[in-house]
Amino acid sequence: MQKSLIAALVAGAFLSLPATAADLLQVYKQALTNDATFASARASLLAGRERVPQGLSGLLPTVSASVGYSRDSSQSTPDGLPELPKVTGNNTTYGINLSQPLFRWDRYQTYQQSKLAEAIAEATFAQAQQDLITRVAQAYFDVLAAQDTLESTRAQKTAVTEQLASAKRNFEVGTQTITDTHEAQAAYDLVVAQEFAAVNDLEVKRTALQAIIGQAPGALSALKPGVSLSAPKPAVIDEWVGTAEKQNYTVQISSLNVESAKRDIEKGKAGHYPTLDLNAKMGRSKSTTPGNAGSADTNSIGVALNVPLFSGFAVTSRVRETIALEDKARNDLEAARRAAAQATRQSFLGVNSGLAQVKALEAAEVSSQSALDSNKLGYQVGVRINIDVLNAQKQLYSTRTSLAKARYDTIVNGLRLKAAAGVLKEEDLAVVNELLQK
């Protein structure tokens, strides 16, 4: 029952896989098209680019046309005289109005803010691109790690099954005790439970990748055997931190927010400044009312100056508010710089620690294989017991799984390091892709 259930789960996880494995770049291309989070960022970018035309419109002239129609009816009765006949007539007016701002300090600041808003949208989209790269890489290697765990568990299960069969045979011929059989049976039961967990974990990781690429992932290219990973360049952590404090996109966005806050202060102060507009009008009116029948053309041009005198202290309060918000933006910028520096240090240390861990696990894999071979030989000649072989097998497969996971984590930390520094590009993903089997 257990074997059939496991077989069904494994089959369900792999039946849909195509014959050709997809590599990291191919999966990334799918994510570019189908990831909902990235699509949302793309739409936000398009919306942000419309801020500049909207800001500029406040400095450009506005033109409007007007048409009016009325029908008048009047009747008068002079004192002591008969009622006069009712007088009716139609009045029609046409007009075109133009208004051109000459001095509107708040609108000029709004226009400058619109440029900053567009830059913020661009930086936010670039950050979303970096986030997509790291999310795809993380999900991709999570699937590979889950596959490695499952394969290692199944290989361990095969080895334990053979060891269990050997223990039973030896017990039947009287060369070993029942204890060896029980130990092998316990190891087998444990690895069966681990296989269930590994199959479930693989399906979870594949589902996470599916959420990014919008479709069930197929077979994925694995790392080349014995692949060599390189250390970060430059190798000095302070250089990475310095780059992150300037080029990290969160820092850039916070810096732009500070500049936008300065513009808000100027807009608040503009409430005390006069405004000057150029106004022009061209109109025509026509009337059919008796005694006032005829048509007339009206043309005018002039400037209008408006000087604010008192607004109930609203302008002063607004200025104080914007000054406080600018101070907030500056503190947010400092927090962003510190967070970028911390993330950069963590990723840098993670890469170097991962490289050291990979090197140590590579040596441990060789040692574990030698230990297993020695225990198998000792078991055959009777100087080792069954549990020694089982432990050696478990140690070897655990080491291999840890080694693969360390390699994946080191690669992803390398991408996160570049993302924290604000220099992660699609070309960096192509470099990682070269580490995969074709």
**What pLDDT is recorded for position 1?**
38
Report how many domains make up the chain: 1
The verdict on residue 89 lying in a domain is: no
Measure the CA dihedral 364/365/369/374, to 10°.
0
- β-pair type (294-306, 62-74): unpaired
Q: Which of 111, 59, 96, 108 is nearest to 277 (CA)?
A: 59
Q: pLDDT digits over 357-396, tens only? A: 999 998 998 888 888 888 778 867 776 756 677 778 778 8
The 3-class secondary structure across the chain, one letter per residue, is CHHHHHHHHHHHHHCCCCCCCECHHHHHHHHHHHCHHHHHHHHHHHHHCCHHHHHHHCCCCEEEEEEEEEEEEECCCCCCCCCCCCEEEEEEEEEEEEEEEEECHHHHHHHHHHHHHHHHHHHHHHHHHHHHHHHHHHHHHHHHHHHHHHHHHHHHHHHHHHHHHHHHHHHHHCCCCHHHHHHHHHHHHHHHHHHHHHHHHHHHHHHHHHHHHCCCCCCECCECCCCCCCCCCCCCHHHHHHHHHHHCHHHHHHHHHHHHHHHHHHHHHHHHCCEEEEEEEEEEEEECCCCCCEEEEEEEEEEEEECCCCCCCHHHHHHHHHHHHHHHHHHHHHHHHHHHHHHHHHHHHHHHHHHHHHHHHHHHHHHHHHHHHHHHHHHHHCCCCHHHHHHHHHHHHHHHHHHHHHHHHHHHHHHHHHHHHCCCCHHHHHHHHCCECC
The verdict on residue 91 lying in a domain is: no
**What pLDDT is recorded for position 6?**
43
The verdict on residue 80 lying in a domain is: no
Domain CATH for 265: 1.20.1600.10
- DSSP category for residue 308: -
Residues 70, 90 contacting (CB under 8 angstroms): yes
**What pLDDT is recorded for position 170?**
67
The ranges of the chain with pLDDT < 50 are: 1-18
**What pLDDT is recorded for position 78?**
65
Q: pLDDT digits over 5-20, tens only? A: 444 444 444 434 445 7
| Whole-angstrom distance, CA of residue 90 vs CA of residue 394 | 102
The verdict on residue 181 lying in a domain is: yes
Q: Is the dihedral of CA 24, 26, 29, 33 positive or negative?
A: negative
**What pLDDT is recorded for position 373?**
83
Q: In 91-177, which residue ranges form alpha helices assigned H by DSSP?
A: 105-173
Q: Which domain covers residue 117, as residue numbers?
A: 2-34+104-272+312-433
The verdict on residue 165 lying in a domain is: yes
- Please report, for the chain, how many H helices and E strands are present, in that order: 11, 4
**What pLDDT is recorded for position 14?**
42
Structure tokens that stand for 113 in this block: 């803010």
Q: How many beta carbons lie within 10 A of that of residue 152, not counting itself?
A: 20
The verdict on residue 55 lying in a domain is: no
243 three-state secondary structure: helix
**What pLDDT is recorded for position 11?**
43
**What pLDDT is recorded for position 268?**
93
The verdict on residue 207 lying in a domain is: yes
The verdict on residue 72 lying in a domain is: no
Q: pLDDT digits over 231-240, tens only? A: 999 999 999 9
